[in-house]
Structures are given as C-alpha cells and as structure tokens.
Amino acid sequence: MGLLDRAGARLTADVDKADILVVNTCSFIDTAKQESVDTILEMARHKTSGSARKLIVAGCLVERYRDEIQKSIPEVDAVVGTGELESILEAAGLSMPAAPASTSPFTILTTAQAAVTHPGKESQSGTHKYTAQSDRAVAVGPGFIPDIESTKENGASAPAIAYRPEGDLREQQGRFRRDDWQGATHLLPTYLYDESTPRFLTTPRSSAYIKIAEGCDHPCTFCVIPNLRGKFRSRRFESVVAEAQSLVARGVQEITLIGQDTTCYGEDLGLKDGLATLLDELARIPNLRWLRFLYAYPNRITGKLLETIAKHDNICKYLDVPLQHASSSVLKTMKRGAGADIFLKTIQKVRAAVPGIALRTSFIVGFPGETAEDVTVLEDFIKEAKFDWLGVFSYSHEEGSAAYALEGQLPKRTIESRRRHLMKLQQKISKQSKQQWVGRELVVLAEGESEETPLLWEARTQFHAPEIDGKVYINDTGELDKLEPGRFYKAQITEAHDYDLVARILSPAL
C-alpha cells in the first residue's frame, strides 16, 4: 500500500470506486486459503461487470499456487508473491518516483565499511555494544561513511544474505522445499523491507506494527510458513530503530514488534540477545508509551530478555508465547520438544522476573495421533498455568507439511469437541482471574466508540495486545465530557466478565 500510495495511486477500501483491485492473500491453513479464493472470485465478478480494470492477487497464496491462480481464474491480471513486493507497481501499471531523502539520524554501513571505520569486532550503537559479524551487520555513529544504497536489502547491490546456521542446516534437510507444490516457484523469498520502504498505516493513528524479521527456521511439522516465507532473516538493527523513530514522530505511541519468531531476532546478524538489545534501544525513544513484541519461541525467553521487559516502564508487561501443546509426546511429533513440566518452569521464571506480567499462548488440538491422555495433560497444564489470554485452534492438515504424511488423523468432530472443551475451561479460568482486576487503577488507551453501542468506548491496557485480546469497555467518562481516540487515560476497573472488563475514567494520563 505504501508503494502504491507513493507511486500516485489513491487507495480506497470501497471496491466500487476502485480501478485496480488488489487481494492480499494468506495460505497457511485451509480456512485461510478458502477465504482468499472466495475473495478473489468475488473481486473477479467486479472486474467482469466492468467496474474495475485490473485484478492483482498478492501474498502467500501466490507463493503456493502461482500458476494455478492465473490458469483457473483468468480475470487475474497479475500475481505478486511475498518476495517480490515491488513488482506490484508494474502490475498496477505505475512506476516509482524517486524516494525522498532519508531523514534517518543513522548512517548505515556495510560490514566492510564498519571494519574500516571501527576496527575489531565490536560496534557501538547508542549505549549498546554489539558484534558485527555478518554481511548485513551495520555500525552507527558520527564519522561513519554514508552509503545507504549499498546496504539496500533487495537492490542490485545488496550484499548476500547471511542466514543462521540452523537455517542452512534445515535447508539441507529439505525444510523449505516446494517441489510438490504445483506452480510454486522454487526460489524462496528473500525480501525484507527497510526504513525507506514507504508504508501506509491502516492501524489507528496511535498504534503500529513493525516487522523485525521474516521467515522461520524452526522445524514444526504442522507448519508450512517456512516454505512460504523462506529462511529466517532479520532486518538491520538501525533500520528498525529508524522506522520506530519515524513512526513515533508521526504520532504513533504504541509499537508492536512482529515476525514469525521475534525471539531469534539478530542471530543471523551476529547479535547476541538481539531482541533484548533492540527493545532496550527502542524503549529509549521519547514519547513511545507502549512497546511490545509478539510470537516468542518458548526456549528463547532468556533472562536478559525478561530483565529488559522489567527494566523499562514503557515495555508492556506482556508476553505472547505460542506453546502449541503441553503433552511431550505430541510436542515431540510436532518437532517442537519440551512439555508441561518445562513450560511450567519457564512460566514461573517469567512471572518471578516480571511480576504481574500478562501471558498469552495458543494451542493446536487434534494433531495426528493425539490421544485422550494427551488432551488431559494439556487440560491439567492449562489449569495450572492460568494464562491471561489463550487461543485453542483445530489442527489443519496441510499438504507440504511434514505432518501431512503422519498416520492417526483424527475425525473433525473429535478435534472440534476437544477445542470447545478446552476453550470452555479457559473461559472459567479467565472469568476468575479477571475478577481480580476489579478495583485496580490502570492506564488505558482509548480506541474509539464501541462497535456494539455508541454508549460505550473501547480501550486497552498494556496487558491487552491490539486486536487479539479482550477489551476494556468504558461506560463512565468521569469528569470528562468526551474521550479522544488514541489518548491515554487513568481508569478504574469496575466490572469483570469472562474476557472483557468495564472501567470508568479517572483523568487523562499525562
């Protein structure tokens, strides 16, 4: 959207007003594929009726069914995979004007330049030292030679990407193969955006996501995301910092860091404790009120990471760690390892290091071979761990995943009843734990009038990530006539429901 916007396209969410229709797709599970195909077909009707000139399909479905999309849906004029984002301009018949001069306070260098200006392995970034070892490692500070062009991650002069040894090993083991995906290109995406890539924010003005890494090297047998997104690769440290600074300068007050696995951040750049170092740097940006990250991998929650969360007031006391299951035998077949005992120790460590932290996780039920005993192990674990937020998802049997070849597939009915059972259990746990919030005074971010009724406002605390967790409904604005979306207020929790809370406003939070 940012590229199209900068190239002069006017963006609209109203399909009847559009000349060019772009469907951004997902294809990691069956339901996502179905939704993507249904939307493409719906948009194709708009094209045949003559209201739109072009139909472009972008995203993960293209990585998987590139040829088939164009063969089966002739209304589609062009496809744009996840590794070729910039080709959306050509597909739309637009060209890119010259990028405006960078306003980044950083000078970004190649490793060779860093070695010249900063001999030895250590580079200095603000108050942090980190080791520059890979081709894409960078150094900042006064006196460095500016050379933004040669560090472009996707330009002709971009240096070769250095992956993590795990990624290279998994590649040799065939983790990223797409051979049996008809029509998929064999080239894995290597694309990474940077701070100079134009962005068009669709989130409320006060909040933004920043993707800090792309791809994944983990071997989870149920998952085809690595085949779709490629090997794990981190964005440059300074690029993320520069983007965060520019977002905050534009009025963003809450930043959520994302990536398929945020906790591996920087390993391919030779950074130790990369995510902790990045958080530490970002937390120092003036006027950034809330900073969080999603999708932590359980065995990568280090003491340093927890220390960093605890240390900064503006790092939300919130941890999202998808565990997928708790039975060690299911986790073993999932190729994730660990089990309930290890996870409980991790949770204990997290809660001890960051008192009051909110924990979110997600589980998959119905993995091939999952027994009733495995579900009991998961159930006991959920009772013991008492997560603040929890999602249970039904296993989706995905062609191209290692689990596709496994025997012991369960009937859909069984999977659904296990899912419902666990969600009911969590509802009870959530209801009890939310009661303990009543009476607490917390800072909330007002998001706007409730979709259900204009008599209520919706808000979030630092313990609620955008879009995924419960809500705080404001039914009393106290002495204020009205609230403003995107502003922070002090509020008192007055009621608790299964997942949602009700609060009254005490005063603006300065």
**CB of 121 vs ligand SF4, minimal distance in Å:** 30
**CB of 299 vs ligand SF4, minimal distance in Å:** 11
For residues 243 to 272, the per-residue mask of contacts with ligand SF4, x marking binding by CB under 6 A and - elsewhere, is: -----------------xx-----------
Q: According to the binding rule CB under 6 A, does residue 325 interact with ligand SF4?
A: no
Residue 290 phi/psi, 5° resolution? -130, 130
- 8-state DSSP, 328: H
Paired strand residues for 502? 473, 495
Residue 186 phi/psi, 5° resolution? -80, -15
The four Cα atoms 487, 491, 495, 499 give a dihedral, to 10 degrees, of 40
Q: Which is nearer to ligand SF4, 253 or 260 (CB)?
A: 260
Number of shown-chain residues binding ligand SF4 (CB under 6 A):
9
**CB of 228 vs ligand SF4, minimal distance in Å:** 9
CA quadruple 196, 201, 203, 205: dihedral sign? positive
Q: Which two tokens stand for residue 420?
A: 């419902």
Q: Which is nearer to ligand SF4, 117 or 329 (CB)?
A: 329
**CB of 306 vs ligand SF4, minimal distance in Å:** 20
Q: Which is nearer to ligand SF4, 218 or 235 (CB)?
A: 218
**CB of 390 vs ligand SF4, minimal distance in Å:** 17
β strands within 126-265, DSSP E:
128-131, 207-211, 213-214, 233-234, 254-258
**CB of 208 vs ligand SF4, minimal distance in Å:** 22
Q: Which is nearer to ligand SF4, 134 or 260 (CB)?
A: 260
For residues 188 to 217, the per-residue mask of contacts with ligand SF4, x marking binding by CB under 6 A and - elsewhere, is: ----------------------------x-
Nearest Cα to 429, choosing from 393, 470, 383?
Answer: 383
For residues 212 to 241, the per-residue mask of contacts with ligand SF4, x marking binding by CB under 6 A and - elsewhere, is: ----x-x-x--x-xx---------------
Q: Which residues touch 74 (CB under 8 Å, ≥6 apart)?
A: none
Tokens 């995906």 found at: 181
Residue 245 phi/psi, 5° resolution? -60, -40
- Do the Cβ atoms of 360 and 319 come closer than 8 Å? yes
> Could you list the residues that contact ligand SF4 (CB under 6 A)?
216, 218, 220, 223, 225-226, 260-261, 297
